[in-house]
Copies of this chain bind each other. A is one copy, B any other.
Amino acid sequence: MKVNGTPYRTIWSDPQGEVVAIIDQTRLPHEFVIAHLRSLDDAARAIRTMQVRGAPLIGATAAFGVMLGMNKDASDTGLEYACTVLAATRPTAINLHWALERMRTRLAPLPARARAAEARREAAVICEEDVATNRMLGNHGLKLVRDISEKKSGPVNLLTHCNAGWLATVDWGTALAPVFFAHDAGISVHVWVDETRPRNQGALTAWELAVQGVPHTVIVDNAGGHLMQQGKVDLVIVGTDRTTGNGDVVNKIGTYLKALAARDNKVPFYVAAPSSSIDWPADDGSQISIEKRDDAEVSEVRGRSASGSMGSVRIYPETCPVANPAFDVTPARLVTALITERGMCPASKEGLAGLFPEKA
């Protein structure tokens, strides 16, 4: 996607595979800053502190993290160490484990001296595949948006939760790819952007929609149900950190509430789920470990102060008890369809088997 006219991806490596560049997402929407990762530890920290986030981008960053690890120690021990360190960063997004498993499988059979170069190549392939996948999600989702636009006057109103846009992937996004494709195709769209407490990833979504010129409105997470009741939402599209074999969707905390409201108001609820985010062996969402993050994410809010500097304020006193589960499970029964790179399917074992028979 272009930022101020310059095309960017969210992650890229120098040709030597020594430095990985990322957009530091903790600085957005106020500052657009490129950060550089030079070591395995840099990559692990970037994932853990959410300088990069979003299931697909976490996978790509992990792949580059293995590459950075191989630059320093390409032994069997070094490979295992890199995978272990990176796997421990965030428990819920499955793309992390998918990418690490893929790197391990590719690198383990090779002699140590060949691993760094192969890691560079494979990480780049993962990135290209992600971009290609998201283009396919965008094309499939575009049809949905177009169908709605042809049946109504005025813009198609989408609602999305968290950020499953360009910034959550290498390019285009998952849930937002259909939005960008529709906008580029001249279809009038407007996006209700859930702010997505506690981390306010809605600010990222609003930023990338603004950069691309897509009309949008930020709302608090509490507001989506009311807007659906008022007929102001035509469809919901969200991403997923992990979708289990039966179609249960593990995604950012609060997704479940929007799925309930969509069902109650007969608003279609779609999940953009590239196959890399599907946990095929998991029978249902109840088995998935839900990350509990730091209380400070809830108690403190970061932003720009009146003086223009970045800073934090504490909403709740130090003594105030806080809990911060990061994801929830939307049961498959509430999902209208999954949008995958191979097309749309019901959120069910049978639905997924129809599109991915080799995984069933």
A residues lining the B interface (CB < 8 Å): 29-30, 195-198, 200, 203, 206, 210, 215-227, 229, 252-254, 256-258, 260-261, 264, 290, 298-306, 311-317, 319-325, 327-329
Residues on B with C-beta less than 8 A from A302 are 313, 315
Q: Give 17 CB contacts A-B under 8 Å.
A: A29-B316, A203-B316, A217-B321, A217-B322, A218-B299, A218-B322, A220-B221, A223-B254, A225-B254, A226-B290, A226-B328, A256-B261, A257-B260, A301-B315, A303-B314, A305-B305, A305-B311
A200→B305 contact, CB < 8 A: no
State A318–B86 Cα separation when bound (angstroms).
37
- B-side contacts of A323, CB under 8 Å: 217-219, 223
Contact between B29 and A257, CB atoms less than 8 A apart: no
- Assess whether A225 is in contact with B260, with CB atoms less than 8 Å apart: yes
A260 partner, pick from B261, B316, B325, beta carbons under 8 A: B261
* B222→A221 contact, CB < 8 A: yes
State the majority secondary structure of interface residues on A: mixed
Known: A222-B252, A226-B325. 4 other contacts (CB 8 A): A218-B298, A220-B221, A220-B254, A225-B256
Q: CA–CA, A229 to B322, complex, Å?
A: 19
Nearest-neighbor residue (CB-CB) of A198 within chain B: B220
User: How far is it, in angstroms, between the C-alpha of A29 and the C-alpha of B298 when the chains are bound?
Assistant: 15
A299 CA / B220 CA spacing, docked (Å): 10
- List the 7 shortest-distance A-B pairs measured between CB atoms, nearest first: A222-B254, A303-B313, A226-B328, A197-B220, A260-B260, A257-B257, A222-B253
Q: Tell me, in angstroms, the Cα distance from A319 to B217 when the chains sit together.
A: 11
Q: A226 is contacted by which of B196, B220, B225, B256 (Cβ under 8 Å)?
A: B256
Contact partners of A298 in chain B: CB under 8 A: 195, 218-220
Residues of B within 8 A of A30 (CB): 317
A222-B253, A261-B256 known; A313 vs B329 contact (CB < 8 Å): no
Are A200's CB and B329's CB within 8 A? no
Residues in B whose Cβ lies below 8 Å from that of A198? 220
Contact (Cβ within 8 A) B311 A223: no
Q: Shortest beta-carbon distance, A49 to chain B, in Å?
A: 18
> Is there contact, CB below 8 Å, between B200 and A29?
no
Q: Are the C-beta atoms of A303 and B306 separated by less than 8 Å?
A: no
Give bound CA distance, A225 to B30, whole Å.
31
